[in-house]
Chains A and B, each alone.
Chain A
Amino acid sequence: MLRDITIGQYYQTESVIHRLDPRVKLMGTLVFIISLFLGRSVWLYLGVTAFLAVIIKLSNVPLKFIVKGLKSVMILVIFSAIFNLFLTDGQPLVHIWKLTITKEGTILAIFMVIRLLYLIMGSSLMTLTTTPNHLTDGLEKGLGFLKVFKVPVHEIAMMMSIALRFIPILIEETDKIMKAQMARGANFEKGNLIQRAKAMIPVLVPLFISAFRRANELAMAMEARCYHGSEGRTKMKPLKYTKTDYIAYLLLALYLVILIVIRIFL
């Protein structure tokens, strides 16, 4: 179950998307999210779907892999769908007991589900095609202007990339601890929600302790390798825009403009 989380993982393969400058991909994700919230017309969503399909195809990441990552957020999606379905006022369609499903609610729920799924697919596609180190570089350089306001951009970016690197390791560890507790008779499946939440405590405590121990050791290992913040640090892979990146920027702008046009005229 825990192994299915693909958010923040990197999928190694060769593709145009993988080679793009991380700043382009960050901007692309931002544009994609904006385009998702432009409106609720079918045409708009057709455009967004087409865009996402093209990017996934270009990225060479198997669709199966991306869809697998959606499983872990399914509960969230289902919840928001149910709330939208029952709690929206409007033209009633079906009555079940005291609850009413309205036409507006149904439409809203469908759009909400699509929007959430696309949002997760789009943003996980960025981390799937960008190594955390690359992502850090992109953030650091893309947000470099914030340094003027004394924002520790490099440090924040470094923390992010380390967090991403440790996601799979901590997931593995959680799995291991759960199995160890199960071997001692813990039961994570039985009981109501509160009982199940309580059953997680013996998993979370050792997980936190081990995470802190790891953090301590990692900090020491980083220090031992002369890490001392961004000052005087050079880059192994300095970011440089290529022709493809400029074309990608152009296509992104074009995409946004087309969607805005659709929004206004259709």
Chain B
Amino acid sequence: MGIVKADKLTFEYIRRDEEGNVDSITTAVDNVSLEIKEGSFVAVLGHNGSGKSTFAKHLNALLYPTEGTLWVDGMDTSEENNTMSIRQTAGMVFQNPDNQMICTLVEEEVGFGPENIGVPTDEIWQRVESSLKAVGMYAFRKASPNKLSGGQKQRVAIASIVAMKPKCIILDEPTAMLDPAGRKEVIDTLHLLNKQEGVTIILITHYMEEVIDADYVYVMDEGKLVMQGTPRTIFSQVEHLKELRLDVPQVTELVYELQQSGLPIKDGILTTEELLQELERFR
């Protein structure tokens, strides 16, 4: 079994009126089944309200499925006894960097997680050092998080998850509030962690450019899993993506437009270099 396995996962937000009667039911996650391999870099795409964040919260046992089952590293998330070990196995980074920092020093922030799971003092310091080095923020260990840029804050947030030695890191739109430079910082850090430490990365996002280097992509719409495959197969279906109100990477868009106007370029081009190579053929 993979690190994450969902079987017909369904979650409903139930809104009640003042008397407690059910007012309306919104199905945020609808019958999702998937399996994620350990050590892979997976992206979950979807526009706002597609249920991708709700799905992410299930992976961390912050929400429990209404129907269906979700296993994280073989543990059923709906069992209360598993909650702590699931949160240790699958760490979560949120969207707003300010609202997930508890402490006023970077090193204390990174040490907060290990403190909670009862790691001995000496080892906490080792973990803080190595995880800050892993995200390239060791030089800022004595700084206040308020003084850092958005990208740096998110890297600290990632380090504080890494310090808990999870097998898997879930990131819920970690770059939504960042500028392009900060976005690149964060995504590069994630790839580095994935390659060097072998951590499984599950990246929830709606930026197509961040998805290009992922191993596998899931696309969600209205709570349902509507597309899945490698970035190449996903992005060759430009029309389907547009139907789902999703953008495609600029290069892919260009290829699509060129194809539409009759140039026989092959499908699934993701980077500028690839496109240049392909265009060379027509010289």
Chain A residues within CB distance 8 Å of chain B: 10, 12, 131-133, 161-162, 164-165, 168-169, 214, 217-218, 220-228, 232-238
Contact (Cβ within 8 A) B108 A224: no
Residues of A within 8 A of B107 (CB): 236
Taking CB atoms and an 8 Å cut-off, the chain B residues in 77-113 that contact chain A are 84, 87-88, 91-92, 94, 96, 98-105, 107-108, 111-113
- Residue contacts A-B, CB under 8 angstroms, 14 given: A132-B104, A169-B98, A217-B94, A218-B99, A218-B102, A221-B100, A226-B87, A233-B118, A234-B118, A234-B119, A234-B124, A235-B115, A236-B121, A237-B121
Residues of B within 8 A of A133 (CB): 103-105, 108
CA distance A220 to B92 in the complex (A): 10
Residue of B nearest to A164 (CB): B104
Q: Is B196 located at the chain interface by the 8 A CB criterion?
A: no
Q: Is B125 located at the chain interface by the 8 A CB criterion?
A: yes
Contact (Cβ within 8 A) A225 B94: no
B1 to chain A, nearest CB (A): 23
Partner of B161 from the list A12, A218, A225, A228 (CB cut-off 8 Å) is: A225
Partner of A236 from the list B91, B100, B108 (CB cut-off 8 Å) is: B108
Q: Is B25 located at the chain interface by the 8 A CB criterion?
A: no
Residue of A nearest to B107 (CB): A236
Q: Is B205 located at the chain interface by the 8 A CB criterion?
A: no
Q: Is B258 located at the chain interface by the 8 A CB criterion?
A: no
Contact (Cβ within 8 A) B116 A217: no
Enumerate the 10 nearest inter-chain pairs by beta-carbon distance, A residue then B residue, closest first.
Answer: A221-B100, A236-B111, A217-B99, A225-B113, A226-B116, A224-B92, A236-B124, A133-B108, A232-B118, A226-B87
Taking CB atoms and an 8 Å cut-off, the chain B residues in 127-159 that contact chain A are 128, 142-144, 146
Residue of A10, A226, A228 with most partner-chain B CB within 10 A: A226
Residues of A within 8 A of B144 (CB): 10, 12
Partner of B84 from the list A12, A162, A226 (CB cut-off 8 Å) is: A226
CA distance A111 to B218 in the complex (A): 70
Q: Is B120 located at the chain interface by the 8 A CB criterion?
A: yes
Q: Is B164 located at the chain interface by the 8 A CB criterion?
A: yes
Partner of A233 from the list B105, B115, B142 (CB cut-off 8 Å) is: B115
Residue of B nearest to A166 (CB): B98
A145 to chain B, nearest CB (A): 22
Given contacts A220-B62, A235-B121, A236-B125, contact A131 B116 (CB under 8 A): no
Contact (Cβ within 8 A) A217 B100: yes
Residue of A nearest to B120 (CB): A234
A15 to chain B, nearest CB (A): 14
Residues of B within 8 A of A168 (CB): 146
A210 to chain B, nearest CB (A): 10
Contact (Cβ within 8 A) B115 A218: no
Residues of A within 8 A of B62 (CB): 220, 223-224
CA distance A121 to B69 in the complex (A): 57
Contact (Cβ within 8 A) B91 A224: yes
Q: Is B114 located at the chain interface by the 8 A CB criterion?
A: yes
Contact (Cβ within 8 A) B164 A165: no
Contact (Cβ within 8 A) B116 A233: yes
Given contacts A234-B118, A238-B121, contact A225 B160 (CB under 8 A): yes
Residues of A within 8 A of B57 (CB): 220
Contact (Cβ within 8 A) A224 B102: no
CA distance A235 to B112 in the complex (A): 9
Residues of A within 8 A of B88 (CB): 226
CA distance A225 to B61 in the complex (A): 11
Residues of B within 8 A of A10 (CB): 104, 144
CA distance A236 to B92 in the complex (A): 21
Contact (Cβ within 8 A) A234 B102: no
Known pairs A218-B99, A234-B118, A238-B121 / 11 extra A-B pairs, C-beta < 8 Å: A131-B103, A131-B108, A133-B103, A133-B105, A165-B102, A217-B100, A221-B100, A222-B102, A225-B164, A228-B84, A236-B115
